[in-house]
Structure 1
Amino acid sequence: MELLSAITEFAAREPKVYGLILGLVAAAILASVINVAAMLLVWLERKVMGDFQSRYGPNRVGGRWGILQLGADAVKLFTKEDIIPRGADKSVYVWAPIVAVATTMLIAGALPFGAVIIDGEVIPLVVANMDISALYVEAVLSLMAIGAFMAGYASNNKYSMLGAFRGIARMIAYEVPMGVCVISVAVMAHSLNLVEIVNAQQGIWFALAQPLGFVIFAICLIVDLGRMPFDQTEAEEEIISGYNTEYSGIRFGLLYFQEYIVMLLGSILLVLLFLGGWNGPVIPVITFISPMVWFFMKLLIVLVALIWIRVSLPRFRIDQVTDLGWKILLPLSLINFVWAVAVGLYFA
């Protein structure tokens, strides 16, 4: 009690300093949770891929369920020699992995990570509940290509540069239909706030109200994540490994780990926009965390689906990827937008 009263007095006396300290603590906690969740996601993907393909790997080595494999990889990445290529732009080369991870962390602050029920009221768990959080998250997702471009440009390697240019071409082709789908959801929900978008799906999920938009957004999200079958920026048989070819050690680890952080955050965004977020029947025994249970069940289904797609489909050519974005998904996203406006006006 004395500690609590001392904190209250300090907050009243120094509100700006208290707000800064509180923000730093919250950011540290959020970053820790996201990184631990991304580590578990690495393990989950290895386990599921090993089961799908019936092959030996981390699901049969590294202790029970392959958990020790994560620790072995961490030790390997931390202890490998950090080599900077001759002729590379050293400052850009060093900062590229940091920028790649930092841009993904910008997304986390605006994403609700579920909700809890207190005194019969649903309280969303979000750091910054912004009125335009849906647009903000979609805009920051487009910044991911900056880290890849910096890495490809600074490496002084033509294959790395080609991978970076592929990332830019892919981003431009798919950010437009993805943005149109976000606007379509906002029109139907009458809000750009992710919390209000989730609340608007208490009657029906937007995946059912606009199934075309759901499919388009899911495809665009997979492209944005750079995962199979849309990982042309690091297609090993074509461009060695793309933008991260010249990286080693912990810098390569950051670029590799950033992909899984974005996969986690992108899946959360899909659940919030189209799958009703934390909406679901109240579970009597665990009423307090009932919304969290529904939220993480939906999130796990989306993550397993992304892994399933990765192990099932072959990689597309880069021209097929750009054609799909400009010639097919963009016109379909406009059709879905017209549908969303009509439905939104009818229910308004």
Structure 2
Amino acid sequence: MDGIIDTITQFAAQEPAIFALIIGIIGAAVLSAVVNVGAMLVIWADRKVMSDFCNRFGPNRVGGRWGILQLGADAIKLFTKEDVIPAGVDKGVYVWAPIIASAGTMLVAAAIPFGALHIGGKNYPLVVANMDISAFYVEAALSIMSIAVFMAGYSSNNKYSILGAFRGIARMIAYEVPMGVCVISVAVMAHSLNLVEIVESQTVWYAFAQPLGFVIFMIALVTDLGRVPFDQSEAEEEIICGYSTEYSGIRWGLLYFQEYNNFLLGSILVSLLFLGGWHGPIIPIPLLDMVSPMIWLLMKVIIVIWFIILIRAALFRLRIDQVTDLGWKWMLPLSILNLGWAVIVGSYFA
């Protein structure tokens, strides 16, 4: 293994442009596969848990023993369903909204480490673009979703769609600000904005070092994902299907699917920022020792996903005024208070 690593290192030094191109192509292919397959499993888990908790028909009763076949049935339905573009829409914006939403998801995934390989007593992070400001980059790329939501709602020529879009924008802005402050708080303690360095700096999980920031970030993440109790932009009993009301077929499928892509990536981000990422004991078994960091990160991500799904099963939807009041009047001041705490603790341990 050490010989292979040395060979790759020498090739990278001799042909940096070719090496970068090869890594980029491989990274993009693997990244797309991992994110999309992971999102499919999150959709299945969401339906499975909700159907069990609510005792309703779903993957707990159809689609085979575990309900896996329902994913394939839904995919076939969305790909073969007629793609209708209503009269009166702004066609250019209408068509590009799902594409921008999907592209934004891939931009986020490019800077998120998906674990690490433990080789020769050292961890090698699995990340396509290991940037110095990757924490800020990820948050900025996540906000692209708000642009796609507005494009979809505004271009649909439907009052329910535009209402859902405005609700979504108001909700996202109110909570992305405290989310950003929480990211700054973590960066202050870690003395870095690099997600890999933030993970490596967590001798103590930041969920314990700044519990207030962890709670605020989790609430802001659930809000940014548009899930219960903060799913005002898709409140079916109020505004039909919100900003995606006029979409059908594969275009609607892209808007729906990217929400679960963001769900998966947001859960990974929580694990990296606050739960120690891939840190954990190395499993003393051949082959498993090499992927131990990935196993620990996967376990933490599953717990976060499961918790967010339980929130949907247990809580009721809030009104839009309650959501914005919570964001601006409570979450923002508390996030600033948490930042002050992070500055004090980070300066003390600097």
> Normalised by the size of structure 1, how large is the TM-score?
0.95
1:1-348 equivalence runs, <5 A: 16=17, 19-201=20-202, 203-285=203-285, 286-348=288-350
CA-to-aligned-CA distance 1:125-158 (integer Å, 9 cap, x gap): 1111111000110111111101111100111101
Note the C-alpha offset of 1:331.
Answer: 0.5
1:192 alignment partner AA: L
Note the C-alpha offset of 1:54.
Answer: 2.2
Note the C-alpha offset of 1:17.
Answer: 5.2
Note the C-alpha offset of 1:117.
Answer: 0.6
Unpaired stretches in structure 1, ≥5 consecutive residues:
1-6
Determine the C-alpha separation between the residues in 1 that align with 2:219 and 2:19. Answer: 43
Q: CA RMSD in A?
A: 1.7
Note the C-alpha offset of 1:56.
Answer: 2.3
Determine the C-alpha separation between the residues in 2 that align with 1:188 and 1:212. Answer: 14
1:204 alignment partner AA: V
Determine the C-alpha separation between the residues in 2 that align with 1:13 and 1:205. Answer: 40
Determine the C-alpha separation between the residues in 2 that align with 1:8 and 1:173. Answer: 46
Note the C-alpha offset of 1:25.
Answer: 3.0
The aligned residue for residue 3 of structure 2 is: none
Determine the C-alpha separation between the residues in 1 that align with 2:11 and 2:111. Answer: 27
Note the C-alpha offset of 1:292.
Answer: 1.1
2:223 alignment partner AA: V
In 2 relative to 1, CA 219–9 (structure 1 residues): closer, same or farther, beyond 3 Å? closer
Determine the C-alpha separation between the residues in 1 that align with 2:100 and 2:332. Answer: 29
CA-to-aligned-CA distance 1:315-336 (integer Å, 9 cap, x gap): 0000000000000000000110
Note the C-alpha offset of 1:46.
Answer: 1.1
Instruction: Tell me the number of residue pairs that the alignment of Structure 1 and Structure 2 aligns.
Output: 341
In 2 relative to 1, CA 15–209 (structure 1 residues): closer, same or farther, beyond 3 Å? closer
Note the C-alpha offset of 1:186.
Answer: 0.3
Determine the C-alpha separation between the residues in 2 that align with 1:170 and 1:329. Answer: 12
Note the C-alpha offset of 1:10.
Answer: 9.8
Q: Which runs of 4+ in 1 moved over 2 A?
A: 7-22
Moved more, 23-32 or 91-100: 23-32
> Normalised by the size of structure 2, how large is the TM-score?
0.94
In 2 relative to 1, CA 284–151 (structure 1 residues): closer, same or farther, beyond 3 Å? same
In 2 relative to 1, CA 242–75 (structure 1 residues): closer, same or farther, beyond 3 Å? same
In 2 relative to 1, CA 59–102 (structure 1 residues): closer, same or farther, beyond 3 Å? same
Determine the C-alpha separation between the residues in 1 that align with 2:49 and 2:10. Answer: 51
C-alpha contact 2:102 2:255 (8 A) present in aligned 1: yes
CA-to-aligned-CA distance 1:267-302 (integer Å, 9 cap, x gap): 000000000001112221221111111111100000
Q: Percent identity?
A: 72
Determine the C-alpha separation between the residues in 2 that align with 1:15 and 1:125. Answer: 19
Note the C-alpha offset of 1:20.
Answer: 3.0
